[in-house]
Amino acid sequence: MLLHIVARGKIGRSPEAELTDRYLKRINWKTRVTELPDTGGNLPARDGAKTIVLDERGKAMRSADFAKLLGRWRDEGVRETQFLIGAADGHSEELTREADLLFSFGPATWPHMLCRAMLAEQLFRAVAILSGHPYHREGRTGG
């Protein structure tokens, strides 16, 4: 399955871009990043793709549950999942209504450039969980 991040705004050369790239390169599934202007521009075609819209009003999920969702969609034959990150003003109501999932990193508002890095890390973590890689350490306590 293709994991496709569709983000408003240009990230350029920045610490957030480096961190995003670092995680995306570690994912053994196909990945793509599409940047759109802050306003306007056309979203990529969503023919058969699942869409997850990042929104502070969305559902906060444990990493293991997020991984299960992606694994289920992969197993059902979904070819692409698009992760939509908005600009400062968020997404249109129409887009949020049409999404397969509104996904949240919590009730706080996060800078959209930082959301890319956070999403890339969660995608890497989800793929690691699904492959049995030891990166994810849920339930373990430090000592």
How many whole angstroms separate alpha carbon 47 and alpha carbon 51?
10
User: Residue 51: which of 103, 112, 106, 127 has the closest Cα?
Assistant: 103
How many whole angstroms separate alpha carbon 95 and alpha carbon 87?
13
Neighbours of 87 (CB within 10 A): 14
User: Residue 5: which of 131, 100, 117 has the closest Cα?
Assistant: 117
How many whole angstroms separate alpha carbon 36 and alpha carbon 43?
8
**Would you say 80 and 1 are in contact if contact means Cβ atoms under 8 Å apart?**
yes
Q: Is 90 annotated as a binding residue?
A: no
AA identity, residue 16: E
Q: Is 54 annotated as a binding residue?
A: yes
Binding region = 54, 86
Binding region for S-adenosyl-L-methionine = 54, 86
